[in-house]
């Protein structure tokens, strides 16, 4: 398996390494969500009967779905709570509430990674909020013909 920017298979630091994956290949495999037959855990799973493989796969998907659902719910709660507070303080219901709430939410979620990440999170979340809010505020006949 050789991708652009990676060494050819079996080449670790320019040295021939037969029968073993390179460090780059191991890092890429470890970054995958589910085990593959190339890892020891994946080899153990692939040796199981199909029914148990499916059970294991569904169990992993269930766990990751719960984790994703919790994270999505947290982001939604932060955003909607912030938007409600801003709307209450401004006493207006317009596009700027969502943009400000998106900026605060994106900045807060990325704050641990530093000020640059917080600024990018603020800008990205604000832009996404503006686009969604703009689309939701279009008249009903305009939503049938979106501008792309």
Note the pLDDT tens digit of each residue in 57-97.
788 889 889 989 999 999 999 999 999 999 999 999 999 99
Q: What mean pLDDT, rounded, does the chain reach?
A: 80
Least confident interval from 6-15, 43-52, 130-139 = 6-15
Residues 25 and 117: their CA atoms lie apart, in Å, by 28
Residues ≥6 apart with Cβ < 8 Å to 80: 101
Torsion (CA) 16, 21, 26, 30 in degrees, nearest 10: 170
Q: Which of 77, 76, 78, 100 is nearest to 87 (CA)?
A: 100
Return the domain boundaries, the chain: 71-143
Q: Using 50, 70 and 90 to split pLDDT, how confident is the model at 125?
A: very high
Q: What is the pLDDT of residues 1-42, one digit of tens each?
A: 455 555 555 555 555 545 676 777 766 655 555 555 666 666
Contact present, 105 and 132 (Cβ < 8 Å):
no
């Amino acid at each position: 398996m050789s991708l652009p920017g990676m060494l050819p298979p079996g080449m670790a630091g320019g040295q021939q390494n037969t029968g073993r994956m390179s460090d780059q290949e191991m890092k890429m495999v470890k970054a995958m969500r589910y085990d593959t037959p190339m890892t020891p855990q994946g080899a153990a799973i692939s040796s199981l009967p199909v029914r148990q493989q499916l059970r294991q796969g569904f169990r992993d998907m269930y766990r990751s779905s719960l984790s994703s659902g919790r994270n999505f719910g947290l982001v939604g709660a932060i955003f909607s709570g912030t938007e409600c507070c801003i709307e209450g303080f401004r006493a207006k219901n317009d596009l700027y509430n969502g943009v400000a709430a998106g900026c605060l939410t994106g900045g807060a979620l990325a704050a641990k990674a530093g000020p640059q990440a917080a600024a990018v999170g603020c800008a990205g979340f604000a832009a996404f909020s503006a686009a969604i809010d703009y689309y939701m505020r279009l008249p009903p006949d305009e939503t049938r013909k979106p501008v792309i």
